[in-house]
Amino acid sequence: MASPSSSAGYDRRTFLKTATAGAGLASIAGCLGGGGGSGVTLGALNIMSGFASLYGEEAERGYDLAVQEINDDGGIDGDDVEVILRDTEADSNTATQQMTSLIEEEGVDGLMGLDSSGVAQNIAPQIKQNQMPLMITHAATPYVTSPEGETEDSVGNDYVFRCSNTVAHDMFGAAQVASELDATEWATIGPDYAFGYDTWAYFQAFAEGIGVDAEFTAEQFPALETNDYSPFISSILDADPDAVITPLWGSDLTTFLGQAEDSGWFDQIDHTLISVGMGTDLPSDGNPIPEGTWASTRYDPFVPDSEENNTFRETYVEEYDTLPTYNAEGAYRAVYLYKMAIEEGGGTSADDLIGQFSGMQHTGPVGEYEFTETNQASVASIWGQVSYDEEWESNVLDPVERYDAAPADVRGALEGSDLPAGL
């Protein structure tokens, strides 16, 4: 069982709470599809095929669960809500086509989802052009909530919000973990695109910013959907670092884990930190993360020990016979954020929704948070060590720690670097 966290010192102002108590769940079949008619229609963009389809499948469960609960409880201001889910195929062109179809053909009231940082960075400017609200539930690049003009790559704008963690959140927590480990020489193996490079850059910047005694000695960036990691693994092992941080994800992570274990990785490397670990581990049929490995998550099924989280976990397990991942929780919460914005604002116009999302305070399974001035949720960074739990027949994080990632602290730790905090 996961241990209680050192809970963040949240502002205890009057937080508005959504009714996430578990309504009875009979069946969710047939609750999706359609659009353009009466009621509230939301469009979702997730990876539903290919190497990272498990993330989209988990998000779909979160959407479905929220839709069923909300409609069973009277809908949104009396109207049923439906979610139309489209496959981005982790490709920006496909995501653009699906986004355009959802807006122009389906007439959706708002958009949510996105798993790939690269796709999110390309979609964000188009969201602004279409003046359509987007609630990102997974993609983690800080540049989509870094206001346009802050850096060359910043694409944040009034229409793009994010309810989940960023790379900055995760690496702020990773640096805290690193500060407590007996490790000086660090390396990385990450995917060969923005997410891999950003993760390594932010980890180094935060390590320096909080005073971790660290040297950065090796880096490998294999392409997405690599089948043979052996040359990359050998290169890291030859460098003989004390610790490695890896943001590999989806089936790439499970492929890597199997080959790393066969190579003796976990005997030679003292500490391996997997930055998207539990989002891949729980739903994967591939190689599980070895016990004792450090992993992060953006939501933990046991922390915080709150009514919202316990009810969500129990309802989810009853429905799907597995613990919820962070992608399921983020998707579930996004539907409730739209419900809250529509009911508080009294309409579904883009101006109404943006006005409500801006600065919104909210409580969900992940805990209490609010949207900062850059439209980024002020959620915690969560890291722990992987442990197999007999009761749940699943890997969990135990012990698990929540690290406050307050905007001022994150910005302060990045001072002197050219990296945006994105919050």
pLDDT at position 243 is: 98
- Which structure tokens are listed for 49? 């095929």
pLDDT at position 2 is: 32
CB atoms closer than 10 angstroms to residue 357: 24
Q: 335: burial class by Cβ within 10 Å (0-12, 13-18, 19+)?
A: buried
Provide DSSP, 304-327: S--HHHHHHHHHHHHHHSSPPPHH
Low-confidence stretches of the chain (pLDDT beneath 70): 1-37
Closest by Cα among 227, 292, 225 to 265: 292
Contact 2, 384 (CB under 8 A): yes
Handedness of CA 326, 327, 332, 333 (dihedral sign): positive
CB atoms closer than 10 angstroms to residue 26: 9
pTM above 0.75, yes or no: yes
Exposure string over 397-413, b if 16+ CB within 10 A, otherwise e: bbebbbbbbbbeebeeb
Taking the mean position of all CA atoms in its chain, how far away is CA 223? 21
pLDDT at position 18 is: 34
Contact 323, 392 (CB under 8 A): yes
Distance from the first to the final alpha carbon of the chain: 32
pLDDT at position 38 is: 75
